[in-house]
Amino acid sequence: MTKDKGAYSVQAVAKAIDLLEALAQDGENPTISVIEKKLGLNHGKTVRLLTTLESKGLVEKDSLAGTYNLGLQALEMAQHILKSDNLIRLARPIMENLARKLDEAVYITVANNDEVLFLDMVDSFQQIKTVDLVGKRFPFFTNAAGKVLKSVASIDIFCRAGKKRGIKDLPKLEAELNEIRRKGVAVDFNGLGEGVCSVAVVIRDYAGKVVGALTVLAPSFRMLHDRLEKEVIPCMLEGAEQLSMKFGYSKAYA
Protein backbone atom coordinates (compact mmCIF):
# COMPACT_ATOMS: atom_id res chain seq x y z
CA MET A 1 0.00 0.00 0.00
CA THR A 2 2.80 2.42 0.92
CA LYS A 3 4.67 1.62 -2.28
CA ASP A 4 1.57 2.29 -4.39
CA LYS A 5 0.98 5.61 -2.64
CA GLY A 6 4.62 6.60 -3.16
CA ALA A 7 4.47 5.71 -6.83
CA TYR A 8 1.24 7.70 -7.20
CA SER A 9 2.77 10.72 -5.45
CA VAL A 10 5.81 10.71 -7.76
CA GLN A 11 3.53 10.34 -10.79
CA ALA A 12 1.38 13.24 -9.59
CA VAL A 13 4.45 15.46 -9.20
CA ALA A 14 5.63 14.54 -12.70
CA LYS A 15 2.21 15.34 -14.15
CA ALA A 16 2.11 18.67 -12.27
CA ILE A 17 5.46 19.60 -13.82
CA ASP A 18 4.17 18.52 -17.25
CA LEU A 19 1.13 20.71 -16.74
CA LEU A 20 3.22 23.76 -15.82
CA GLU A 21 5.46 23.16 -18.85
CA ALA A 22 2.38 22.96 -21.09
CA LEU A 23 1.10 26.28 -19.76
CA ALA A 24 4.55 27.87 -20.20
CA GLN A 25 4.93 26.66 -23.80
CA ASP A 26 1.52 27.49 -25.22
CA GLY A 27 1.04 30.87 -26.84
CA GLU A 28 -2.65 30.73 -25.98
CA ASN A 29 -4.11 29.84 -22.61
CA PRO A 30 -5.59 26.32 -22.90
CA THR A 31 -8.94 25.07 -21.66
CA ILE A 32 -9.21 22.08 -19.36
CA SER A 33 -10.14 19.79 -22.27
CA VAL A 34 -6.99 20.82 -24.16
CA ILE A 35 -4.87 20.18 -21.05
CA GLU A 36 -6.46 16.72 -20.62
CA LYS A 37 -5.53 15.77 -24.18
CA LYS A 38 -1.97 17.08 -23.84
CA LEU A 39 -1.30 15.24 -20.57
CA GLY A 40 -3.34 12.13 -21.32
CA LEU A 41 -5.28 12.43 -18.06
CA ASN A 42 -8.92 11.94 -17.25
CA HIS A 43 -11.07 14.87 -16.20
CA GLY A 44 -10.98 14.15 -12.47
CA LYS A 45 -7.18 13.97 -12.20
CA THR A 46 -6.77 17.10 -14.31
CA VAL A 47 -9.18 19.03 -12.10
CA ARG A 48 -7.36 17.92 -8.95
CA LEU A 49 -3.99 18.95 -10.37
CA LEU A 50 -5.25 22.34 -11.50
CA THR A 51 -7.01 22.98 -8.19
CA THR A 52 -3.86 22.12 -6.20
CA LEU A 53 -1.58 24.27 -8.35
CA GLU A 54 -4.12 27.10 -8.30
CA SER A 55 -4.20 27.00 -4.48
CA LYS A 56 -0.42 27.49 -4.48
CA GLY A 57 -0.57 30.42 -6.89
CA LEU A 58 1.24 28.49 -9.62
CA VAL A 59 -1.80 28.42 -11.92
CA GLU A 60 -4.55 30.98 -12.52
CA LYS A 61 -7.98 30.37 -14.05
CA ASP A 62 -9.91 32.79 -16.21
CA SER A 63 -13.42 31.95 -15.03
CA LEU A 64 -15.14 33.76 -17.89
CA ALA A 65 -13.09 32.16 -20.68
CA GLY A 66 -12.61 28.82 -18.90
CA THR A 67 -8.88 28.90 -19.65
CA TYR A 68 -5.72 28.50 -17.54
CA ASN A 69 -2.35 30.24 -17.43
CA LEU A 70 0.72 30.38 -15.19
CA GLY A 71 0.12 32.15 -11.88
CA LEU A 72 2.13 34.93 -10.30
CA GLN A 73 3.92 32.51 -7.98
CA ALA A 74 5.27 30.56 -10.96
CA LEU A 75 6.45 33.78 -12.58
CA GLU A 76 8.12 34.92 -9.35
CA MET A 77 9.91 31.57 -9.08
CA ALA A 78 11.15 31.98 -12.66
CA GLN A 79 12.39 35.51 -11.85
CA HIS A 80 14.31 34.22 -8.82
CA ILE A 81 16.00 31.59 -10.99
CA LEU A 82 16.94 34.18 -13.61
CA LYS A 83 18.26 36.54 -10.95
CA SER A 84 20.37 33.77 -9.42
CA ASP A 85 21.76 32.86 -12.84
CA ASN A 86 22.53 36.52 -13.58
CA LEU A 87 24.17 36.97 -10.18
CA ILE A 88 26.42 33.94 -10.71
CA ARG A 89 27.35 35.06 -14.23
CA LEU A 90 28.31 38.56 -13.12
CA ALA A 91 30.01 37.42 -9.92
CA ARG A 92 32.19 34.68 -11.41
CA PRO A 93 35.07 36.83 -12.78
CA ILE A 94 35.32 38.79 -9.53
CA MET A 95 35.13 35.62 -7.43
CA GLU A 96 37.90 34.06 -9.53
CA ASN A 97 40.05 37.15 -9.09
CA LEU A 98 39.52 37.16 -5.32
CA ALA A 99 40.19 33.44 -5.04
CA ARG A 100 43.50 33.87 -6.86
CA LYS A 101 44.51 36.94 -4.83
CA LEU A 102 43.66 35.42 -1.46
CA ASP A 103 44.12 31.75 -2.39
CA GLU A 104 40.97 30.96 -0.40
CA ALA A 105 37.50 29.70 -1.34
CA VAL A 106 35.17 32.53 -2.40
CA TYR A 107 31.38 32.15 -2.47
CA ILE A 108 28.39 34.14 -3.62
CA THR A 109 25.66 33.84 -1.00
CA VAL A 110 22.02 34.97 -0.98
CA ALA A 111 19.15 35.20 1.48
CA ASN A 112 16.79 32.25 1.09
CA ASN A 113 13.69 32.51 3.29
CA ASP A 114 15.09 32.50 6.85
CA GLU A 115 18.50 31.18 5.85
CA VAL A 116 21.61 31.90 3.82
CA LEU A 117 22.15 29.85 0.66
CA PHE A 118 25.70 29.27 -0.59
CA LEU A 119 24.97 29.64 -4.29
CA ASP A 120 28.31 29.28 -6.10
CA MET A 121 32.02 28.97 -5.27
CA VAL A 122 35.49 29.40 -6.73
CA ASP A 123 37.90 27.18 -4.81
CA SER A 124 41.47 27.79 -3.70
CA PHE A 125 44.58 25.73 -4.44
CA GLN A 126 45.29 25.19 -0.76
CA GLN A 127 45.86 21.64 0.45
CA ILE A 128 44.00 22.33 3.69
CA LYS A 129 40.62 23.88 2.99
CA THR A 130 37.05 24.07 4.23
CA VAL A 131 34.29 21.71 3.07
CA ASP A 132 32.47 22.68 -0.14
CA LEU A 133 29.22 24.40 0.90
CA VAL A 134 27.62 25.04 -2.51
CA GLY A 135 23.89 24.36 -2.26
CA LYS A 136 23.98 24.34 1.55
CA ARG A 137 21.75 26.52 3.73
CA PHE A 138 22.53 27.89 7.18
CA PRO A 139 20.70 30.04 9.75
CA PHE A 140 21.47 33.75 9.33
CA PHE A 141 23.27 34.32 12.60
CA THR A 142 25.69 31.38 12.34
CA ASN A 143 27.96 32.94 9.71
CA ALA A 144 29.39 36.17 8.34
CA ALA A 145 27.21 36.15 5.20
CA GLY A 146 24.00 35.97 7.21
CA LYS A 147 25.16 38.62 9.65
CA VAL A 148 26.20 41.08 6.95
CA LEU A 149 22.89 40.57 5.13
CA LYS A 150 20.89 41.05 8.33
CA SER A 151 22.96 44.09 9.32
CA VAL A 152 21.33 46.10 6.53
CA ALA A 153 17.80 44.85 7.23
CA SER A 154 15.27 46.87 9.20
CA ILE A 155 15.20 46.50 12.97
CA ASP A 156 11.73 44.88 12.82
CA ILE A 157 12.94 42.18 10.42
CA PHE A 158 16.01 41.65 12.57
CA CYS A 159 13.97 41.20 15.76
CA ARG A 160 11.54 38.78 14.12
CA ALA A 161 14.38 36.70 12.70
CA GLY A 162 16.23 36.70 16.01
CA LYS A 163 13.20 35.62 18.02
CA LYS A 164 12.35 32.94 15.48
CA ARG A 165 15.85 31.51 15.88
CA GLY A 166 15.56 31.57 19.67
CA ILE A 167 18.39 34.05 20.17
CA LYS A 168 18.29 35.15 23.81
CA ASP A 169 20.69 38.09 23.85
CA LEU A 170 19.18 40.23 21.07
CA PRO A 171 20.78 43.50 22.31
CA LYS A 172 24.25 41.95 22.04
CA LEU A 173 23.53 40.68 18.53
CA GLU A 174 22.04 44.04 17.55
CA ALA A 175 25.23 45.79 18.71
CA GLU A 176 27.31 43.35 16.64
CA LEU A 177 25.18 43.98 13.56
CA ASN A 178 25.42 47.75 14.03
CA GLU A 179 29.22 47.42 14.06
CA ILE A 180 29.07 45.27 10.92
CA ARG A 181 26.88 47.87 9.21
CA ARG A 182 29.33 50.61 10.15
CA LYS A 183 32.37 48.71 8.82
CA GLY A 184 30.60 47.15 5.83
CA VAL A 185 32.07 43.72 6.56
CA ALA A 186 31.29 40.75 8.83
CA VAL A 187 33.84 38.32 10.26
CA ASP A 188 32.77 35.13 12.00
CA PHE A 189 34.76 32.34 13.64
CA ASN A 190 33.45 28.80 14.25
CA GLY A 191 29.85 29.54 13.22
CA LEU A 192 30.10 27.17 10.26
CA GLY A 193 32.22 24.65 12.09
CA GLU A 194 35.11 24.48 14.51
CA GLY A 195 38.16 26.19 13.08
CA VAL A 196 36.28 27.83 10.16
CA CYS A 197 36.41 31.58 9.52
CA SER A 198 33.99 33.38 7.19
CA VAL A 199 34.26 36.97 5.95
CA ALA A 200 31.42 38.60 4.01
CA VAL A 201 30.49 41.87 2.30
CA VAL A 202 27.16 42.87 0.73
CA ILE A 203 26.40 43.30 -2.98
CA ARG A 204 23.92 46.01 -3.99
CA ASP A 205 22.03 46.81 -7.18
CA TYR A 206 21.28 50.12 -8.96
CA ALA A 207 18.63 51.03 -6.37
CA GLY A 208 20.88 50.25 -3.41
CA LYS A 209 19.00 47.03 -2.68
CA VAL A 210 21.08 44.13 -1.35
CA VAL A 211 21.16 41.21 -3.80
CA GLY A 212 23.63 38.96 -1.98
CA ALA A 213 27.01 38.78 -0.31
CA LEU A 214 30.53 37.88 -1.36
CA THR A 215 31.91 35.46 1.22
CA VAL A 216 35.33 33.95 1.77
CA LEU A 217 35.78 30.77 3.82
CA ALA A 218 39.09 29.55 5.21
CA PRO A 219 40.59 27.66 8.12
CA SER A 220 40.93 30.01 11.09
CA PHE A 221 44.70 29.49 11.40
CA ARG A 222 45.15 31.27 8.03
CA MET A 223 42.88 34.18 8.99
CA LEU A 224 44.95 35.93 11.62
CA HIS A 225 44.10 39.51 12.61
CA ASP A 226 46.85 41.21 10.59
CA ARG A 227 45.98 39.30 7.43
CA LEU A 228 42.28 40.00 7.87
CA GLU A 229 42.79 43.74 8.35
CA LYS A 230 45.52 44.33 5.77
CA GLU A 231 44.67 41.84 3.01
CA VAL A 232 41.40 39.93 3.22
CA ILE A 233 38.95 42.68 4.21
CA PRO A 234 40.31 45.34 1.78
CA CYS A 235 40.23 42.81 -1.10
CA MET A 236 36.67 41.74 -0.25
CA LEU A 237 35.42 45.33 0.00
CA GLU A 238 37.03 46.15 -3.34
CA GLY A 239 35.47 43.06 -4.94
CA ALA A 240 32.05 43.91 -3.53
CA GLU A 241 32.28 47.43 -4.92
CA GLN A 242 33.25 46.13 -8.37
CA LEU A 243 30.40 43.61 -8.43
CA SER A 244 27.87 46.15 -7.15
CA MET A 245 28.91 48.49 -9.96
CA LYS A 246 28.06 45.72 -12.44
CA PHE A 247 24.52 45.89 -11.04
CA GLY A 248 24.49 49.66 -11.54
CA TYR A 249 25.16 50.59 -7.93
CA SER A 250 26.75 53.92 -7.09
CA LYS A 251 27.92 55.12 -3.67
CA ALA A 252 25.66 58.13 -4.25
CA TYR A 253 22.77 55.81 -3.31
CA ALA A 254 24.33 54.86 0.01
d(CA 161, CA 144): 16
What CATH fold (topology level) applies to the domain 78-253?
Answer: Beta-Lactamase (3.30.450)
CATH architecture, domain defined by 2-70: Orthogonal Bundle (1.10)
pLDDT tens across 188-246, in order?
999 999 999 999 999 998 888 888 999 999 999 999 999 999 999 999 999 999 999 99
d(CA 202, CA 212): 6
State phi, psi for 116 to the nearest 5 degrees. -105, 130
Q: How many helices (H) and strands (E) does the chain have?
A: 9, 8
Residue 153: per-residue pLDDT: 74
Of the two residues 119 and 157, the one the predictor is more confident about is 119
The strand order across the sheet containing 115-122 reads: 137-139, 115-122, 105-112, 210-219, 196-204, 186-189
Name the residue ranges covered by the structural domains of the chain: 2-70, 78-253
Of the two residues 153 and 130, the one the predictor is more confident about is 130
Give yes or no for residue 8 having a pLDDT over 50.
Answer: no
Residue 228: per-residue pLDDT: 97
pLDDT tens across 82-114, in order?
566 778 888 999 999 999 999 999 999 988 777
DSSP label of 31 = B
- Is the pTM higher than 0.75? The answer reads no
